[in-house]
Amino acid sequence: MSLCRSKAGESSCCGRARPPLPTDLPWLIDPVRQVHIRQDVDGRALVGGFLGKDETVDPSAFDHDADPDWIATVLEQTAQNFGIEIDRSSVIDSWAGLYPSTPDQHPIIDRTDADLRRCRRVRRPRTDARSGCRTARRGVDTGWPDQLP
């Protein structure tokens, strides 16, 4: 039996800041408000943060799209905390993820029985160091092909 409880966790969105972000902008993190922003190689603003509810969810039924209310809130927090405006209409993509944790709320930092079951379900019996599933061919599959860009 796995001690894993997946919890709603980090979400991210990608958009274009107006004016564009400076090319030398460091990764800005506000640990108190739990938001962060950085620039990707294409000049887009990657915004992320927790800002959610700490709740147990069923990983197989979890919606990996960021909640629209979360997007509005994190963009507002980014403007307030860092002075960087990103219009909601410029958001290109969004993502939401889960944190696996033990019943007493400690993070799981190793593979779990659930990881192994998932790998077996997709016919990849072993896991790699990134908690993905190793394929029979060369290379590594993250185990979430429907979530890849």
Q: Please give the chain's pLDDT, 149 residues, in tens.
A: 233 344 455 667 777 777 788 888 889 988 888 888 888 878 888 888 876 666 677 777 777 778 888 888 889 999 999 988 888 888 888 887 776 666 666 666 666 566 555 555 544 444 444 444 444 433 334 344 443 33
Whole-angstrom distance, CA of residue 37 vs CA of residue 82: 9
Whole-angstrom distance, CA of residue 110 vs CA of residue 108: 6
Query: Which architecture does CATH list for 5-109?
Result: 2-Layer Sandwich (3.30)
Whole-angstrom distance, CA of residue 54 vs CA of residue 42: 33
Which class for 81: exposed (0-12), middle (13-18), buried (19 or more C-beta within 10 A)?
middle
Q: Where in the chain is the domain with CATH 3.30.9.10?
A: 5-109
pLDDT at 131: 40
Whole-angstrom distance, CA of residue 138 vs CA of residue 107: 31
Give per-residue burial for 12-29: e unless 16+ CB within 10 Å, then b.
Answer: bbbbbbeeebeeeeeebb
User: 45-49 and 5-15: which strand pairing?
Assistant: antiparallel
Helix (H, G, I), strand (E, B) or coil at 8: strand
Confidence (pTM) = 0.58
Could you give the C-alpha distances from 117 to 47, 110, 146, in angstroms and in order?
32, 14, 18
Helix (H, G, I), strand (E, B) or coil at 120: helix
